[in-house]
Amino acid sequence: MTNNRLALITGASAGLGAEFARQYAEKGWDVALTARRADRLDKLAREIEEKYKVATLVITQDLALQKSVDSILHELKEAGRHVDALVNNAGYGLPGTFFNTSWKEQAQFIRVLYTAPIELVHKLLPGMAERNFGRIINVASLAGYAPGTGGHTLYASVKAGLIKFSESIHAEAKDAELDIHCTALCPGFTFTEFHDVNGTRDMANESPKWMWMEAGPVVEAGIDGVTRGHPVVVPGAVNKGVATLTRILPEPLGRELMKRQSKRFRKMEND
């Protein structure tokens, strides 16, 4: 047992999740790592313990399962630990349209990207309030600002919901005068495995390099933002510009632009 604060990170086996684990560990936090791939979690845990000399806890779990959140919290309790920071990072893209995907696929998508993160926040908040300390980062997306697309149907909806949810939790904690900060982190294109998993790597490779960010600065912006108490963080100048543009564009024009972009996604999926 250590006296360090503990950060719980979902989707910690790769990409932004692994980078969150490294950066929190570098700051002297212990980290609890959860994802489906035990081998990757174990490898990351060994790396972090050796490099940063902090404690790690590996919890192999699939957030698509109904009891996954309770299972994660049970393992934390058994280890005698409480959560000081929560990073809801687990996620993926679901290619195809609403017509050609099954409800099981859509329901699991909602569960992993929206229901489970909200359940984690709901069940961890009482302890954070009792200790008067908590930091919550919900990894949303720049897509949460944009009109919906044809294909990847629920992605923008879920990310927009995470943004609004984070703003609400931030406001409630502030009204209660609690030292609890909640931030929606809204990255754009980021160099991770995300596009490999959802089958859009070729499309992503065609995008201009100036639109992309490395994982490190994205995560740094998220941690800095939640530390400072910012309810929403859009990392990078280009992403900030895009977010502003989505607010000022006439809605019909914005929808037409997204329609053209979604056709590119569907073409890549069908090739």
Strand partners, 34: 10, 59
Count of alpha carbons within 13 angstroms of residue 95, beta-carbon side: 17
pLDDT tens digits for range 152-178: 899 999 999 999 999 999 999 999 999
When computed from its CA atoms, the radius of gyration of the chain, rounded to whole angstroms, is 18
Instruction: Tell me the two tokens of residue 99.
Output: 């017509």
Q: How far is CA 20 from the centre of its chain?
A: 10
- Catalytic site residue from 24, 52, 114, 155: 155
Cα 241 to Cα 209: distance, rounded to the nearest angstrom: 16
CA 252, 256, 262, 263 torsion: positive or negative? positive
Of 187, 209, 203, whose CA–CA distance to 16 is shortest?
187
Task: Give the whole-number percent of the chain exceeding pLDDT 70.
Answer: 81
Averaged over 218-247, what is the pLDDT?
87
* Residues 83, 205: Cα–Cα separation, whole Å: 38
* Listed residue (186, 189, 219, 216) closest to 205, CA to CA: 189
Tell me, yes or no, if 155 is annotated catalytic: yes
Task: Give the residue, 271 or 94, on which the prediction is more confident.
Answer: 94
What domains can you pick out in the chain, each with its CATH number? 6-270 (3.40.50.720)
Conformation bin of residue 201: beta by default, left when phi > 0, alpha when psi is -120 to 50: alpha
CA dihedral for 88, 92, 96, 99, sign (positive or negative) = negative
* Burial classification of residue 202, based on how many CB atoms lie within 10 Å of its CB (0-12 exposed, 13-18 middle, 19 or more buried): exposed
Residues 6+ apart with CB under 8 A from 252: none
C-alpha–C-alpha distance, residues 183 and 33, integer Å: 20
Mean confidence (pLDDT) of the chain: 87
Question: Predicted confidence band at 147 (pLDDT cuts at 50, 70, 90)?
Answer: confident
pTM for this prediction = 0.86
Give the confidence band of 18 by pLDDT, cuts at 50, 70, 90: very high
